[in-house]
Amino acid sequence: MAQQAITLMYERNAPDNGIAWRRVAYLLHLSRILDEMEETRLVPERKVLYQFSARGHDMAQIILGLQLTNRHDAACGYYRSRPLLLSLGVDPADALGSAMGRAGGYSDGRDIGVVFNYPNRNGASALPMCGGVGAQYTPTAGWAEALRYYATVLGEKDYRDAIAVVLGGDGSIASNGFWSALTIATTQKLPMLFYVEDNGYGISVPSDLQTPGGNIAANLASWRDLTIFEGDGSNPGDVARLTQQAVDFVRGRRMPALLRLSVPRLEGHSFQDTQSYKSEAVVKAEWARDPLPRLRDYLVPSVLSADEWETCRQEAGDIAERARVEAEGRGVASPETVTRHVFYDGEIQSMGGQHCDGYQAPECSDEAAPGGQRINMVTAIRRTLEHELAINKRVVLFGEDIGPKGGVHAVTLGLQEKFGKERVFDTSLSEEGIVGRAVGMALAGLVPVPEIQFRKYAEPATEQINDCGTIRWRTNNRFAAPVVLRMPGGFFKCGDPWHSQTNEVAFIHQPGWKVAVPSNAEDAVGLLRTALRGNDPVIFFEHRAMLDHQWARRPYPGDNYALPFGKARFTRTGDAITIVTWGAMVPRCEEAAEGISADVIDLRTLMPWDRASVVSSVRRTRRCLIVHEDLGTAGFGAEIAAVIAGEVFMDLDAPVSRLTMPDIPSPHNPTLLDWAVPSVESIRQKIAALVEY
């Protein structure tokens, strides 16, 4: 359909346009009363620590929210989205209690009060919001993508009319996430509505610094496959028609649209913001556009009598007061519970991943089946993906060049041909988009397996990776997004600062992610299978040097082979020294330890890591060398060394020692690279020094 820009004029008399106006009036009063209660009581009493007024944004959000009626609809908003949440059915006591950081609610006091989530099996859900501006966009695109997947690939009819809606301010439209999601939604033709609430400011920065001329709708008028709607978000008639048109369009056409409504921000950005950057005239003009009196004018008397309007206000006041009493009565969660729900601990989340839809993993075994064909690590990973794709239709693979080309490392070769473009597909070149859409797909119950082409290129996705990992914790187990994020890295025949870093430790500092670092084909099969059947997000690190390394070739251990995370493999055993390592350093350590009685421990996973095996081995050998490719300072070896120092100090006969790359990027020339990466010879020397110490 051709692009269209629709601007409707203010209309004084309310027609019967299918909007539940009484409910709008009630919810708008409720939202206002909650804002006011916070501003006049709860913030001064220090019961609410951060407050972001929604005044001015509220009416339009409520009218939009009341149209999200399909139970697979989902919206993702931001810190000013409480009115929408109320319209979806969030309990006001949860809203207030969460703002106060009380027990229960949407995060049990863990997340900042204004960042919501709402798993709802009977109506539209609110996807876990983020504090980062713009982070809401790509997960919403992922939800939209999942809706199509359920409808087409899985043939589930009740997904056919569902839509995804993302809310953002005029500041957010300058973010990477916005552009990434816009590209995804329009190239993929997804049922996604971008709802931009333009209040003219991002805190104090005017919107013409976010987009030239300040109007994103005007600037996107020629964007292909995007239909634009635009109007005055303080005008009830405009809002009703435009939200209906935009929602109907996305529902009916299964295509993306952008609705920009200009709204006044009637208070400061947050409670602390005095708005010194706005002139008195601007503030006055904003208050002249307050949607609350406009709504009253619009509804009374043609739709509601003055008494009914007043009744709505009183009802809202009563409910808000009751909610406050209930919320204040909730108390604070016990501090020791705050370490729960970083990972799945047997209590299934309410929404996200396949496990909460009754998934039962097939029988697995950590015993390799005999007689398997000897294969390299590339084939091992491909074969595991292929099997899981074949037995589980929720598994979906995507990334740059993974389709017809089969990936730049050939891991996905032939998989698109076999499983089709819906299940194995190429993406636009945006790592934030790749990971963000995976998060949305996982929230919708799929098993997304995104590929990042090289570990370094996960950096544009850092925010999405961090936010994904914390979902379970910050929603207090209401949501989880078990994504299996594959990425190759490390040196290969040469190094360089872009393709060769490992920096796996960075992921260990992202709470909620498990991290697998297999060194060989058999472990790759076992760990990947566990990841694909598990209930937590996993970084699956594929070392480039090992993908076709002769040492890493192993017999295929079978279609049911699965390895537990946190269980190391002793590739050699002995008494004189413990060598702890992983990835491409394992064969080097093995070779260096030849002729010496050594425990060589391949950790296989770094989160969790097999602390118990390492500690008991060092207690016995009394010496420990940790070898890794990543940089020395604050590399994962530092963590292992600290644990050994803390737990085995009295048993040590030599200082705990590390051999790592120096703190430099990976050098390109093989001579320089060989000098920088621990070699068999340098490991051997270090072992000798420790054994003789």
Ligand X SMILES: Cc1ncc(C[n+]2csc(CCOP(=O)(O)OP(=O)(O)O)c2C)c(N)n1
In the shown chain, the binding pattern of residues 184 to 203 toward ligand X, with x for contact by CB under 6 A and - for none, equals: ---------------x-xxx
Three-class DSSP category at 675: helix
List Cα–Cα distances, 268 to 35, 47, 271, in angstroms. 12, 19, 6
Q: Compute the least distance from the CB of residue 268 to ligand X, in Å.
A: 10
Taking residues 593 to 632 in sequence order and writing x for each that binds ligand X by CB under 6 A, - otherwise, the string is ----------------------------------------
Closest to ligand X by CB, 77 vs 104, is 77
The residue range among 126-134, 140-148, 382-390, 498-506 that interacts with ligand X, by the rule CB under 6 A, is: 126-134
The rounded distance, in Å, linking the Cα atoms of 87 and 81 is 10
Edge-to-edge strand list for the sheet holding 577-581:
569-572, 598-602, 577-581, 624-631, 657-661
Contact call for residue 80 and ligand X (CB under 6 A): yes
> Which residue's CB is nearer to ligand X, number 201 or number 344?
201
Coil vs helix vs strand at 73: coil
One symbol per residue from 202 to 221: x for binding ligand X (CB under 6 A), - otherwise; what is it?
xx------------------
> What is the dihedral angle through the alpha carbons of 298, 275, 131, 79, rounded to the nearest 10 degrees?
-20
Which residues are annotated as catalytic? 499
Indicate which single residue of 123, 132, 317, 632 sits in contact with ligand X (rule: CB under 6 A). 132
Contact 511, 473 (CB under 8 A): yes
Taking the complex as a whole, how short is the minimal distance between the CB of residue 79 and ligand X, in angstroms? 7
In whole angstroms, the minimum distance from the beta carbon of 197 to ligand X comes to 6
Element spanning 514, H or E: strand 514-516
Cα(162)–Cα(164) distance, rounded to whole angstroms? 7
Amino acid residing at 290:
D
Burial code (b: 16+ CB inside 10 Å, e: under 16) for 642-660 equals ebbeeebeeebebebbbbb
Nearer to ligand X, 269 or 588 (CB): 269
Q: In angstroms, what is the minimal distance from the CB of 170 to ligand X?
A: 4
Local structure of residue 13 (DSSP, 8 states): S
Q: Which of 169, 433, 460, 534 touches ligand X by CB under 6 A?
A: 169
# residues contacting ligand X (CB under 6 A)? 16
Closer CB to ligand X, residue 155 or residue 213?
A: 213
Whole-number Å distance between alpha carbons of 660 and 658 = 6
The least CB distance from residue 76 to ligand X, in Å, is: 14
The C-alpha atoms of residue 419 and residue 451 are separated, in whole angstroms, by: 17
Among 77, 171, 233, 489, binds ligand X (CB under 6 A): 171
Piece of 25-33, 127-135, 283-291, 393-401 that binds ligand X (CB under 6 A): 127-135
Q: Could you count the other beta carbons within 10 Å of the beta carbon of residue 530?
A: 22
Cis peptide before 587 (omega within 30 of 0): no
The conformational region for residue 406 under phi > 0 = left, psi -120 to 50 = alpha, else beta, is left
Of 128-136, 440-448, 527-535, 677-685: span binding ligand X (CB under 6 A): 128-136
CB of 51 to ligand X, least distance (A): 13
- Examine residue 97 and tell whether it contacts ligand X (CB under 6 A): no
CB of 4 vs ligand X, minimal distance in Å: 25
Nearer to ligand X (CB atom), residue 268 or residue 488: 268
Q: Is 19 left (phi over 0), alpha (psi -120 to 50) or beta?
A: beta
Q: How far apart are CA 383 and CA 400, in angstroms?
A: 20
Q: Which is nearer to ligand X, 203 or 664 (CB)?
A: 203
Of the ranges 170-178, 254-262, 344-352, 372-380, which one interacts with ligand X (CB under 6 A)?
170-178
CB of residue 25 to ligand X, shortest distance in Å: 23
Written as six digits, the tokens of 576 are 């004189």
The whole-angstrom separation of Cα 466 and Cα 460 is: 12
Q: Does 269 participate in binding ligand X (rule CB under 6 A)?
A: yes
The CB-of-88 to ligand X minimum distance in angstroms stands at 19
Nearest approach in angstroms of CB 190 to ligand X is 22
Sole window of 167-175, 254-262, 296-304, 316-324 interacting with ligand X (rule: CB under 6 A): 167-175
Calpha distance 590→567 (Å, rounded) = 19
Q: Would you say 64 or 380 has its CB closer to ligand X?
A: 64
CA distance 586 to 603: 9
- Check binding of 537 to ligand X (CB under 6 A): no
Q: Does 430 bind ligand X (CB under 6 A)?
A: no
**Burial class of 328 by CB neighbour count within 10 A (0 to 12, 13 to 18, 19+):** middle
Chosen residue from 22, 71, 120, 131 binding ligand X by CB under 6 A? 131
Q: At what angle do helices 21-37 and 291-299 cross, to 10 degrees?
A: 150
Position with the least CB separation from ligand X: 169
Cα 547-562-407 angle, rounded to 5 deg: 30
Q: Residue 72 or residue 269: which is nearer to ligand X going by CB?
A: 269
> Closest CB to ligand X among 217 and 516?
217
Q: 53 or 520: whose CB is closer to ligand X?
A: 53
Listing DSSP states for 174-209 in one string gives GSHHHHHHHHHHHHHT--EEEEEEE-SEETTEEGGG
What is the CB-side half-sphere exposure of residue 121 using CA atoms within 13 A?
Answer: 9
Using the rule CB under 6 A, which residue among 25, 48, 84, 133 binds ligand X? 133
Q: How far is the CB of 352 from ligand X (least distance, A)?
A: 23
Query: At 152, which amino acid appears?
Result: T
Name which of 391, 395, 386, 394 is nearest 418 in CA terms.
Answer: 386
Binding site for ligand X (CB under 6 A): 80, 131-134, 168-172, 199, 201-203, 265, 269
